[in-house]
Chain A
Amino acid sequence: MSAGLRTVILLSFVLAVGFLLIILSCALWSNWLPLLVALTFVLAPLPNALFSHCGSDEFSSYEGGGGPVDMGRFLTSLIVITGFALPIVLAHSGIIDSKASAMSIVGGGLVYGTIIAYSAAFTQSESEYD
């Protein structure tokens, strides 16, 4: 239990650092376009979470899933790449600074990594419960 608590505290700390980097990348150059990266990475796990319960019931042992599960994975991958590509594109055409782009990419990666690690830890504890 204490290990789980420590994990939650660590992950929330990392999440805060990620958001700090994104907001700093906006505020230092007073150009609030990189905030879209935070929105993108927050939206990224949503399709997988929505579609993962669509394809299979609990009686089918086949884990491959059907069309809806594939759709969710496709959308997740698309949104993650969008989150990385958006600041690069903005920096390439000189709309935001290249340092702001790097900071928002690192911050977005931290936010997304936090969400992934949190969901992984959560499913681990759930299977422990079974």
Chain B
Amino acid sequence: SDYDPRRVCLNPCPNFTLGKHRRTMGVYLAGALFALANWTFLDAAVLSAHAKPRWGDEVPVHVSFVDWVPGICSLLGYLVINMIDKDRIKGEEGFGGDSRAVWRARLFLFIGFALMAGGLAGSVTVLILKYILPAYTPQFTYYGYANVSQSVALMLSAVVLWIAQNTSNEYEYNLTL
């Protein structure tokens, strides 16, 4: 019954058996992942600001503005993705018939995903170029790994939020059929 020949991709996600509270649980989980992502990076930033040099040495590396850029990109992409009306993207024919609005919504969705993917790629770049290649001790490569895990957790949060909000829509859609 869920086979629709117009759809290119079938939904690979299994139906969760959480029942009625599926949407609520998904939204809570997305918020938790969002907070965890940002606190992971803030942990690295606070740790770097309070790093004490041992044996009178200089602290070799600090979290600077370069480390903040991937997180900012991911956050912007997160905002863009979640501000799009999800019904526009499906582009159903009876939905006002405004094909340009569908096109614009898809364009902004693409920009949002590109920002998030760019944030992830940028965090991996910062990890490799700033922390792994100069061969710092694990105390300092942690900053780079925290940056990567921030981007990954932000992506996971966006995915969870998307699924949580779309399952409810499909449920409604089936009811109207």
Using a CB–CB distance below 8 Å, which chain A residues touch chain B?
63-65, 70, 73-82, 85-86, 88-90, 92-95
Contact in complex: A81, B39 (CB < 8 Å): yes
Q: Can you report 8 A-B residue pairs in the complex whose CB atoms are below 8 A from each other?
A: A73-B27, A73-B31, A74-B31, A77-B35, A79-B35, A81-B39, A85-B36, A89-B43
Given A70-B165, A85-B35, does the pair A77, B46 have CB atoms closer than 8 Å? Answer: no
Contact in complex: A82, B28 (CB < 8 Å): no
How long is the Cα–Cα vector from A105 to B47 in the complex, in angstroms? 20
Contact in complex: A73, B24 (CB < 8 Å): yes
How long is the Cα–Cα vector from A73 to B23 in the complex, in angstroms? 10
Contacts of B42 in A (CB 8 A): 89
In the complex, residue of chain B having the shortest beta-carbon distance to the beta carbon of A83: B35
Task: Output the residue of B20, B31, B47, B168 with the most chain A CB within 10 A.
Answer: B31
In the complex, residue of chain B having the shortest beta-carbon distance to the beta carbon of A67: B165
How long is the Cα–Cα vector from A124 to B50 in the complex, in angstroms? 48
- Further 16 A-B residue pairs, CB within 8 A, beyond A70-B23, A86-B39, A93-B49: A70-B165, A74-B27, A74-B161, A77-B31, A77-B32, A78-B32, A82-B39, A85-B39, A88-B43, A89-B39, A89-B42, A92-B43, A92-B46, A93-B43, A94-B50, A95-B46
Contact in complex: A93, B35 (CB < 8 Å): no
Using a CB–CB distance below 8 Å, which chain B residues touch chain A?
20, 23-24, 27-32, 34-36, 39, 42-43, 46-47, 49-50, 161, 165, 168
- What is the CB-to-nearest-CB distance from A9 to chain B, in angstroms, rounded to a whole number? 30
- What is the CB-to-nearest-CB distance from B172 to chain A, in angstroms, rounded to a whole number? 8
How long is the Cα–Cα vector from A89 to B39 in the complex, in angstroms? 8
Contacts of B29 in A (CB 8 A): 77
Contact in complex: A77, B27 (CB < 8 Å): yes
Contact in complex: B43, A75 (CB < 8 Å): no
In the complex, residue of chain B having the shortest beta-carbon distance to the beta carbon of A70: B27
Contacts of A94 in B (CB 8 A): 50
**What 3 A-B pairs are tightest by C-beta distance, nearest first?**
A77-B31, A81-B35, A85-B39
How long is the Cα–Cα vector from A93 to B47 in the complex, in angstroms? 5
Given A70-B165, A93-B46, does the pair A64, B23 have CB atoms closer than 8 Å? Answer: yes
Q: Which of B27, B35, B50 contacts A82 (CB 8 A)?
A: B35
Task: Output the residue of A81, A85, A95 with the most chain B CB within 10 A.
Answer: A81
Contacts of A63 in B (CB 8 A): 20
